[in-house]
Amino acid sequence: MEANIHITVEGQNGEIRQLEIPEGINLSLMEVLKASDYPILATCGGMALCATCHIHVLEGLENLEPHTDAELDMLDTLPDADEYSRLACQIRLTPSIDGLKIRVSGNN
Ligand code: FES
Protein backbone atom coordinates (compact mmCIF):
# COMPACT_ATOMS: atom_id res chain seq x y z
CA MET A 1 0.00 0.00 0.00
CA GLU A 2 1.29 3.46 -0.86
CA ALA A 3 1.79 5.98 1.91
CA ASN A 4 0.67 9.58 1.82
CA ILE A 5 2.72 12.73 2.14
CA HIS A 6 1.32 15.15 4.70
CA ILE A 7 1.82 18.88 4.35
CA THR A 8 0.44 21.55 6.66
CA VAL A 9 -0.33 24.83 4.92
CA GLU A 10 -1.04 28.18 6.54
CA GLY A 11 -2.93 30.36 4.11
CA GLN A 12 -2.71 34.13 3.75
CA ASN A 13 -5.73 34.52 6.03
CA GLY A 14 -4.10 32.40 8.72
CA GLU A 15 -6.27 29.38 8.04
CA ILE A 16 -4.41 26.10 8.51
CA ARG A 17 -5.10 23.09 6.35
CA GLN A 18 -3.63 19.62 6.20
CA LEU A 19 -2.99 18.35 2.69
CA GLU A 20 -2.60 14.64 2.13
CA ILE A 21 -0.96 13.77 -1.13
CA PRO A 22 -0.56 10.23 -2.42
CA GLU A 23 3.07 9.23 -2.70
CA GLY A 24 4.35 8.85 -6.25
CA ILE A 25 2.19 11.40 -8.06
CA ASN A 26 5.28 13.25 -9.25
CA LEU A 27 4.06 16.82 -8.84
CA SER A 28 5.70 19.90 -7.44
CA LEU A 29 4.42 21.57 -4.29
CA MET A 30 3.35 24.53 -6.45
CA GLU A 31 1.06 22.28 -8.52
CA VAL A 32 -0.53 20.83 -5.40
CA LEU A 33 -1.07 24.27 -3.85
CA LYS A 34 -2.69 25.52 -7.04
CA ALA A 35 -4.92 22.46 -7.20
CA SER A 36 -5.88 23.11 -3.57
CA ASP A 37 -7.09 26.62 -4.54
CA TYR A 38 -4.30 28.66 -3.03
CA PRO A 39 -3.84 31.93 -4.95
CA ILE A 40 -0.61 31.07 -6.70
CA LEU A 41 -0.36 32.43 -10.23
CA ALA A 42 2.67 30.38 -11.32
CA THR A 43 2.92 32.49 -14.46
CA CYS A 44 6.23 30.92 -15.43
CA GLY A 45 4.79 27.42 -15.25
CA GLY A 46 7.26 26.22 -12.65
CA MET A 47 10.53 27.41 -14.16
CA ALA A 48 11.74 29.40 -11.11
CA LEU A 49 11.23 32.61 -13.11
CA CYS A 50 8.19 34.39 -11.67
CA ALA A 51 8.43 33.90 -7.88
CA THR A 52 4.63 33.91 -7.53
CA CYS A 53 4.95 30.52 -5.81
CA HIS A 54 7.06 31.94 -2.96
CA ILE A 55 6.42 30.16 0.35
CA HIS A 56 7.93 30.23 3.82
CA VAL A 57 8.92 26.91 5.35
CA LEU A 58 7.86 26.71 9.00
CA GLU A 59 8.98 23.13 9.68
CA GLY A 60 10.91 20.55 7.70
CA LEU A 61 13.36 22.82 5.87
CA GLU A 62 16.15 20.31 6.52
CA ASN A 63 14.28 17.64 4.55
CA LEU A 64 14.15 19.63 1.33
CA GLU A 65 16.63 19.46 -1.51
CA PRO A 66 18.99 22.46 -1.49
CA HIS A 67 18.13 25.52 -3.61
CA THR A 68 19.26 25.57 -7.21
CA ASP A 69 21.13 28.67 -8.37
CA ALA A 70 18.07 29.72 -10.39
CA GLU A 71 15.85 29.50 -7.31
CA LEU A 72 18.30 31.46 -5.17
CA ASP A 73 18.65 34.17 -7.82
CA MET A 74 14.88 34.58 -7.97
CA LEU A 75 14.47 34.62 -4.18
CA ASP A 76 17.12 37.33 -4.03
CA THR A 77 14.78 39.65 -5.94
CA LEU A 78 11.98 39.37 -3.35
CA PRO A 79 11.84 41.99 -0.60
CA ASP A 80 10.13 39.64 1.85
CA ALA A 81 12.31 36.59 1.25
CA ASP A 82 14.31 35.21 4.14
CA GLU A 83 16.30 32.10 5.01
CA TYR A 84 13.06 30.09 5.20
CA SER A 85 11.88 31.11 1.74
CA ARG A 86 11.52 28.65 -1.10
CA LEU A 87 9.85 28.54 -4.48
CA ALA A 88 7.15 25.88 -4.28
CA CYS A 89 7.64 24.93 -7.92
CA GLN A 90 11.15 23.74 -7.11
CA ILE A 91 10.01 21.35 -4.36
CA ARG A 92 9.22 17.83 -5.53
CA LEU A 93 6.76 15.83 -3.49
CA THR A 94 8.78 12.91 -2.25
CA PRO A 95 8.26 10.83 0.90
CA SER A 96 11.23 12.53 2.55
CA ILE A 97 9.31 15.81 2.85
CA ASP A 98 6.43 14.22 4.78
CA GLY A 99 5.49 16.50 7.69
CA LEU A 100 6.47 19.72 5.91
CA LYS A 101 4.80 22.85 7.27
CA ILE A 102 4.66 25.99 5.15
CA ARG A 103 3.07 29.41 4.95
CA VAL A 104 1.88 30.75 1.65
CA SER A 105 3.53 34.12 1.11
CA GLY A 106 1.41 37.23 1.14
CA ASN A 107 2.68 38.67 -2.14
CA ASN A 108 1.51 36.10 -4.67
S1 FES B 1 5.92 29.00 -10.58
FE2 FES B 1 7.15 30.64 -11.28
S3 FES B 1 8.78 30.65 -9.89
FE4 FES B 1 7.59 28.99 -9.22
**Alpha-carbon distance 67 to 22, whole Å?**
24
Which residue spans within 1-108 are E strands per DSSP?
4-10, 16-22, 54-59, 85-87, 100-104
In one letter, which amino acid is 60?
G
Domains of the chain plus CATH, in order, are 4-104 (3.10.20.30)
Report which ligand 1 atom has the smallest distance to the Cα of 87.
Answer: 4
Q: Which residues line ligand 1 (CB under 6 A)?
A: 30, 42, 44, 46, 48-53, 87, 89
31-87 confidence digits (pLDDT tens) = 999 999 999 999 999 999 999 999 999 999 999 999 999 999 999 999 999 999 999
Q: What's the pTM value of the predicted model, to 2 decimals?
A: 0.93
7-37 confidence digits (pLDDT tens) = 999 998 899 999 999 988 889 999 999 999 9
Cα 1 to averaged position of ligand 1 atoms, centre (Å): 32
